[in-house]
Chains A and B, each alone.
Chain A
Amino acid sequence: MATAAATGTSIRRITIGSAIALVVLAILPQIVDPYQTVLLTYGLIMAIAALGFNLLLGYTGLLSFGHSAYFGAGAYAVAFILRDFGVHSMELCIVGGMLGTLTIAAIFGFVCVRHTRIFFGILTLALSQVLWSLAFKFFWVTGGTDGIRVPYANLTLLGGLVDFKGARSFQRFIYAYYYYVLALFAVSTILMWVIAHSPFGKALQAIRDNETRARFVGISVLRYRWIAFMISGTFTGLAGILWVPLNGLTTPDILYWPFSGEIVFMTVLGGFRSFTGPIVGAIAFNYLKTYAIASTEYWQLLLGVVLVILVMALPAGLVGTTAGLAAKFRSWTK
């Protein structure tokens, strides 16, 4: 927080900006129809995943091509907790799921942070595929390709205060769950902002920019990377945990490597060099994908073209490009 405190005006501006965004997000479900609310919930959930992912890509300079592992681990953890332990409280699912994801991220991270660049990418990918193949093959535990059903009606929110039994339960679930996700999204964003702007976050950026110098300054590079990896995995795991009751089903697809590619895609879409990039990117990607699927059978082609154009022409992403244009406009009007 050292640098943030130094620039008092900018921190006030950020607080005001986020407060406005939060109020808008809180009012939206009252205006738009339930379908849009569901889409927005998915978008916010993916935003948590992309925020976590970007701690590695944007702040530490490590491109993971295996973040499906942590998303999937969170989702499967909730499915197991509900099915095998008879737990109904979403909070217990979150705690259990995050502990599970943290364990996996700790093990995988311990191995992966020893490498950088392309080897890091391939290693994370290979390890995520281990989980995928286990979920795929141990069908008597995981349901194989059928997956495991996670009915929202079995869940209670806020320690049993809110449940979803009886008439019109689906509508009630959608509204309640939207605000539940929004609250967790806000907490996650603040937490990630604090992490990214803490001395720890600055150290990660130093490692990203010059590993040798960072080591000379006395930063233990491997340990910092490992901690960043665990935080990143756990955030993505939380997204998986929140995703599964909304989706109602968890299948090996969310552990398969193209899903990791989607997480990379949304982060780059928003712009991985800015803090808000992954949030904007995840919400935009979710709308883009939903409408692409609804409008054409060849939605992958459409998304692929968007990704290629993005990489070729707008590598700074939506947020970076907008910020660049705004800066140009300001200097032009002066």
Chain B
Amino acid sequence: MTIFVIQIFNSFFYAAVLFLIAAGLSLIYGVMRIVNLAHGTLYALGAYVSAWIVGSAIGHALEGNLGLAGMLILLPIGAIAVAAVGALIEPTLLRPLYGRSEEYHLLVTFGLLMILEDVIKLLFGRTPLSAGAIMDQMGSIPVGRLMYPTYNLFVVAVGLGVAVGLWAFIYRTKFGVILRATSQDRRMAAALGINVGRVYVQAFAIGCFMAGLGGAVVVPAQAAVLGLGIEVLILAFVVVVIGGLGSLQGALVGALIVSFVRTAGIQFFPEIELAVLYLIAAAVLLVRPTGLFGRA
């Protein structure tokens, strides 16, 4: 029974991280119709930056006297850094390609993925980085006869908070209205006086921020290693394919489905755990090409 509860907690933790990544991917697709193959690597970049800030740079400078609150405040720096990178990428690499076919979007983001993978290697080296101090200092709570790390529950709360915040941002603010208008009809929005170029930069930066935040919150629990982003990108794809590309609810439901299937898979059918996920994605695409919550 205790194991069962812990597995449910794990699923929620995993779902929170996947949601952050997939929501960013979905937002970018929803607004500018670009499938960003470099999204997973941006997530990895966020993880590396946060781990480096908390674990190495400032952590060392203050000789470990940072305190838990200090570390938690520094943690989102990775997300902000990735958002800044995104704000640079969109006008330089993506904007010239909007008129061209999708193949070029995939190719340029694939090139970006290769570049960013090596930039991470160049900046942070080959040794894994982690910010495990946060997880240690947060301690753990008893679940039945076992202990469960409090930090994982904190991440679930962050995921929920971001989901609610993003929903409110998109459906309850003026910027959200502009964002949705641009995603519905780019030319009409431009005709109404909306600066579409600026909306695109902002939307791309927000999407990148989400990826970076996913990396930032995961890094106290697992170390940032090379190749992290390549692996996670496909899982984020599975999430958005199940939920529907461009849909926020879809990203949430997809993340829950993927993480629960995955947790159950690791427990009961470890050999085909990943294959089952990809097959679910393929099956959903076949039955409902726009996903569970997607629009055509």
In chain B, what residue has the closest Cβ to A307?
B111
User: A268, B107: Cβ atoms under 8 Å?
Assistant: yes
User: A130, B278: Cβ atoms under 8 Å?
Assistant: yes
Are A311 and B35 also in contact (CB < 8 A) when A115-B285, A301-B115 are?
Answer: no
In A115-169, the 8 Å CB interface with B consists of: 115, 117-119, 121-123, 125-127, 129-130, 133-134, 136-138
In chain B, what residue has the closest Cβ to A299?
B118
User: A57, B114: Cβ atoms under 8 Å?
Assistant: no
B136 close to chain A: CB less than 8 A: no
User: A57, B241: Cβ atoms under 8 Å?
Assistant: no
User: B234, A298: Cβ atoms under 8 Å?
Assistant: no
CB neighbours (8 Å) of A297 from chain B are: 121
User: B119, A126: Cβ atoms under 8 Å?
Assistant: no
User: A138, B271: Cβ atoms under 8 Å?
Assistant: yes
CA distance A127 to B238 in the complex (A): 11
In chain B, what residue has the closest Cβ to A261?
B110
Number of interface residues of B (CB under 8 A): 43
User: A115, B289: Cβ atoms under 8 Å?
Assistant: yes
Are A304 and B278 also in contact (CB < 8 A) when A126-B241, A137-B272, A311-B104 are?
Answer: no
A315 close to chain B: CB less than 8 A: yes
User: A122, B35: Cβ atoms under 8 Å?
Assistant: yes
Most buried by A among B237, B281, B285: B285
User: A258, B122: Cβ atoms under 8 Å?
Assistant: no
B73 close to chain A: CB less than 8 A: no
Q: Which of B115, B238, B272 contacts A305 (CB 8 A)?
A: B115
User: A304, B282: Cβ atoms under 8 Å?
Assistant: no
User: A311, B102: Cβ atoms under 8 Å?
Assistant: no
A212 close to chain B: CB less than 8 A: no
A114 close to chain B: CB less than 8 A: yes
CA distance A113 to B243 in the complex (A): 21
User: Within the complex, what minimum Cβ distance (angstroms) separates A44 from chain B?
Assistant: 24
User: B237, A122: Cβ atoms under 8 Å?
Assistant: yes
User: B241, A122: Cβ atoms under 8 Å?
Assistant: yes
User: Within the complex, what minimum Cβ distance (angstroms) separates A129 from chain B?
Assistant: 5
A191 close to chain B: CB less than 8 A: no
Are A137 and B270 also in contact (CB < 8 A) when A126-B285, A315-B100 are?
Answer: yes
A196 close to chain B: CB less than 8 A: no
Q: Which of A121, A129, A298 contacts B118 (CB 8 A)?
A: A298
A111 close to chain B: CB less than 8 A: yes
Are A304 and B118 also in contact (CB < 8 A) when A125-B237, A311-B97 are?
Answer: yes
Are A308 and B281 also in contact (CB < 8 A) when A111-B286, A115-B289, A125-B234 are?
Answer: no
CB neighbours (8 Å) of B114 from chain A are: 300-301, 303-304, 307
CA distance A115 to B291 in the complex (A): 13
User: A304, B112: Cβ atoms under 8 Å?
Assistant: yes
B221 close to chain A: CB less than 8 A: no
CB neighbours (8 Å) of A115 from chain B are: 285, 289
In chain B, what residue has the closest Cβ to A264?
B107
A65 close to chain B: CB less than 8 A: yes
Q: Which of B121, B122, B285 contacts A119 (CB 8 A)?
A: B285
User: A133, B274: Cβ atoms under 8 Å?
Assistant: yes
Most buried by A among B114, B118, B270, B271: B114
User: B111, A308: Cβ atoms under 8 Å?
Assistant: yes
A5 close to chain B: CB less than 8 A: no
B141 close to chain A: CB less than 8 A: no
User: A121, B106: Cβ atoms under 8 Å?
Assistant: yes
User: B118, A300: Cβ atoms under 8 Å?
Assistant: yes
Are A114 and B286 also in contact (CB < 8 A) when A134-B272, A304-B111, A307-B107 are?
Answer: yes
CA distance A312 to B273 in the complex (A): 39
Are A301 and B118 also in contact (CB < 8 A) when A133-B278, A265-B110, A308-B93 are?
Answer: yes
Chain B 218-238 near chain A by CB (<8 Å), digits 1 or 0: 000000000000100010011
CA distance A47 to B21 in the complex (A): 36
Chain A 244-277 near chain B by CB (<8 Å), digits 1 or 0: 0000000000001110010011001000000000
In A171-212, the 8 Å CB interface with B consists of: none
Are A127 and B282 also in contact (CB < 8 A) when A117-B102, A122-B237, A264-B107 are?
Answer: yes
CA distance A194 to B294 in the complex (A): 42
User: A111, B282: Cβ atoms under 8 Å?
Assistant: yes
CB neighbours (8 Å) of A111 from chain B are: 282, 286
User: A129, B278: Cβ atoms under 8 Å?
Assistant: yes
In A290-324, the 8 Å CB interface with B consists of: 297-301, 303-308, 310-312, 315
User: B238, A65: Cβ atoms under 8 Å?
Assistant: no
Most buried by B among A117, A297, A300, A303: A300
User: Within the complex, what minimum Cβ distance (angstroms) separates B130 from chain A?
Assistant: 23
26 contacting pairs across A/B (C-beta < 8 A): A63-B102, A118-B35, A122-B35, A122-B241, A123-B285, A125-B237, A126-B238, A126-B282, A130-B279, A133-B272, A133-B275, A133-B278, A137-B271, A138-B271, A257-B230, A264-B106, A264-B110, A298-B118, A301-B114, A301-B115, A301-B119, A301-B122, A307-B108, A307-B111, A311-B97, A312-B108
A interface residues (Cβ-Cβ under 8 A, vs B): 57, 63, 65, 111, 114-115, 117-119, 121-123, 125-127, 129-130, 133-134, 136-138, 256-258, 261, 264-265, 268, 297-301, 303-308, 310-312, 315
B interface residues (Cβ-Cβ under 8 A, vs A): 35, 37, 93, 96-97, 100, 102-104, 106-108, 110-119, 121-122, 230, 234, 237-238, 241, 245, 270-275, 278-279, 281-282, 285-286, 289
New A-B pairs, 4, CB < 8 Å, besides A258-B230, A303-B111: A129-B278, A137-B274, A301-B115, A311-B107
